[in-house]
A and B are shown apart, each in its own frame.
Chain A
């Protein structure tokens, strides 16, 4: 995919390259922003901002860095800037997480209630662990790809993922015990 986009850029067709880039990277950019911001609306706003920046800078892309690495770096920086612009004291937890959890909890099956607890448990994970979990499970990505997206070493991602899964398993077991 990146090769096709780069070929279009080399052919002096940045608009066509951008038209291919958006669907290819939309979920990934949104995933990075959501993992950092924990707010769907804010993540979507950042994703828009990132793509506008990419549109403005795409014709100047010189292939010194991998296209994906460049896009992920812009996405991370825009998300962190957005996080810093937030007023102090504002909760980072996404209202949509609570709404989604509530909706699941109100479902008819015990599995829905467990899913709701799992959502809440993911939301309570430490920042890095939550970011890794979000990107890893969003599209069943490899730890290598998640590492590239977050700009972290692969082993660090593996460690975060291992610890996050252990925490989530314990949180889910506690929920079951309390329910029993």
Chain B
């Protein structure tokens, strides 16, 4: 065959096209693929569920650690504050005694002012304690 002969080359092209036309996957390829994907999906589903559960447990564990750390920190703050307060009372006992004496004088001079400020301080303290306990004091006011 002359490779310069266009007619002969066209015939070759036609023959090659005909020979390659049936170059395709066998019957049922897409069904087999669907089955393979279903298998893959099933095989992946179990590890994925286990992984999700493990992830959830990791999150819970992290939260528990964080809560423990927070509680330890709060206890430390309370202990230091308590100790500090005790030392302060010990160290400044004469000054405190003087202050108490002046308070006592205030009660005598302006009892209404003393009662109001004492009630306000008690209210603020109670409010803070209730909030710390997770109770919403506003609900008592109907808010």
Contact = CB atoms under 8 A, between A and B. Distances in A.
Given A30-B24, A134-B23, A170-B3, A47 B29 contact: yes
Interface stretch (B14-22, B45-53, B79-87, B107-115): B14-22
A138 B20 CA distance: 5
A52 B25 contact: no
Given A22-B33, A56-B40, A118-B15, A44 B25 contact: yes
Interface residues of B, number: 25
Interface string A125-137: 0000000011001
Contacts of B16: 118, 122, 133, 137, 168
A147 to B, nearest CB: 18
Given A52-B36, A166-B3, A22 B12 contact: no
B44 to A, nearest CB: 9
Q: Is the interface of B mostly helix, strand, loop or mixed?
A: helix
Interface in B72-129: none
A133 B20 CA distance: 9
A137 to B, nearest CB: 4
B1 interface: yes
Contacts of A22: 30, 33
Interface residues of A, number: 33
Given A169-B8, A170-B3, A138 B15 contact: no
B9 interface: yes
A140 B17 CA distance: 7
B32 A48 contact: yes
A31 B3 contact: no
Nearest to A34: B23
B15 A27 contact: no
Interface in A94-129: 114-115, 118-119, 122
A152 interface: no
Contact of B12 (A119, A169, A176): A169
Given A47-B29, A168-B12, 9 more contacts: A40-B26, A44-B29, A56-B40, A114-B15, A118-B16, A133-B16, A137-B16, A137-B17, A172-B12
11 contacts: A22-B30, A22-B33, A26-B25, A118-B19, A122-B16, A137-B13, A140-B17, A169-B1, A172-B1, A173-B1, A176-B1
Q: Which 10 A-B pairs have the closest CB atoms?
A: A173-B1, A137-B20, A137-B16, A169-B1, A169-B3, A138-B20, A166-B3, A137-B17, A138-B23, A30-B25
Interface of A: 22-23, 26-27, 30-31, 34, 40, 44, 47-48, 51-52, 55-56, 114-115, 118-119, 122, 133-134, 137-138, 140, 165-166, 168-170, 172-173, 176
